Amino acid sequence: MATMIDTQYYFLGFLCFLSLPFLIISFFNKTSKPTNSLCLPPSPPGLPIIGHLHHLLGASLCKSLQNLSTQYGPLLYLRLAAARCLVVSSASMATEIFKTHDFAFASRPSFAFADELPLGNLGLFTSPYGDYWKFMKKLCMTELLSTKQLERSHGIRHEEMVQFLHVVLEKANKKEMVDVGNELMKLTNNIVCRMLMSTRCSEKGDEADRITELVKESFAVCSKMCFGDALGPLKRLAFWLYGRQAMDLTMRYDEIL
């Protein structure tokens, strides 16, 4: 028993020894930079390492952000461990960001795990702002979301929306619980499948459930891997933990396509 306890202490000491250089480098990087180099928006008091994470550990994230915005204003700067973000909570500030200064905020955040995945940084939502992203946006606007294409699929969207409301109303009349998230997932899948393959995804039974579970797993894994970017120098640790699962999800998507 004593040997096991000694081993645990040695292991903790080894971890502290490994993390010490990162803490020293981070300290000198912060002290070497001028304090007035950036004119940042107001922010609440932060803690070492975790930053402002403790302000968001309430029952509801939306209420926590609302309370912070009420106290510090519509433009708020937060540091979530090593990740930095800007919280906008007013229409006027949103207009300044999305219209007046849209080029300054046009690029996508760079995720460490995206470099390890096949085609990780080549998606519309992950590629940096540049010529490639402009081409992808133009392709979507002219081929997928053009006025002609939207008018052509208007009947499909209307029929699926009526079907969705019919299911919700029928369950409400029977006083049954409605899983809104699951029904909205079916609605989206049916619209996409009918636009691409002229068939309803929910009519395929097992395949529809398979796609639904795959999307849920993808969101869960992505959220875990995105959290790794808050670890700073240890951000690749998230891919080491969940990389195999992410690669498996990618292969399963390829099989469906």
In order, the DSSP letters of 80-112 are ETTEEEEEE-SHHHHHIIIIITTGGG-SPPPPG
User: Of 58, 49, 34, 35, whose CA–CA distance to 79 is shortest?
Assistant: 49
Q: Which amino acid is at 26?
A: S
Lowest mean pLDDT among 4-18, 81-95, 117-131: 4-18
Tokens describing residue 70 = 């009420």
- Mean pLDDT confidence for 187-196: 82
Q: Which of these, 59, 53, 98, 95, lies nearest to 78 by C-alpha position?
A: 53
Predicted confidence band of residue 202 (pLDDT cuts 50, 70, 90): low
Band (88; pLDDT cuts 50, 70, 90) = very high
Q: Return the pLDDT at 255.
A: 77
18-32, 109-123, 218-232: lowest mean pLDDT where? Answer: 18-32
Q: In the structure encoding, which two tokens stand for residue 113, read together?
A: 């795990």
Give me the pLDDT at residue 1, please: 46
**Mean pLDDT highest for which of 105-119, 170-184, 185-199?**
170-184
CA 85 to chain centre: 13
Q: Looking at residues 118-140, what average pLDDT do you find?
A: 80
pTM of the model: 0.58
pLDDT of residue 160: 92
Q: Radius of gyration over alpha carbons of the chain, in Å?
A: 24
> Rounded to whole angstroms, how far apart are CA atoms 192 and 5?
57
Q: What type of residue is 147?
A: T
Percent of the chain whose predicted confidence (pLDDT) is above 90: 10
Residues pairing with 51 in the sheet: 47, 80
Cα distances (Å, whole numbers) of residue 155 to 162, 190, 194: 11, 13, 11
| Mean pLDDT estimate for the chain | 77
Is the pLDDT confidence value at 127 over 70?
Answer: yes
- CA-to-CA dists, residue 120 to 106, 162, 225, 245, 246, angstroms: 19, 37, 13, 15, 11
Going by pLDDT thresholds of 50, 70 and 90, the confidence category of residue 159 is very high
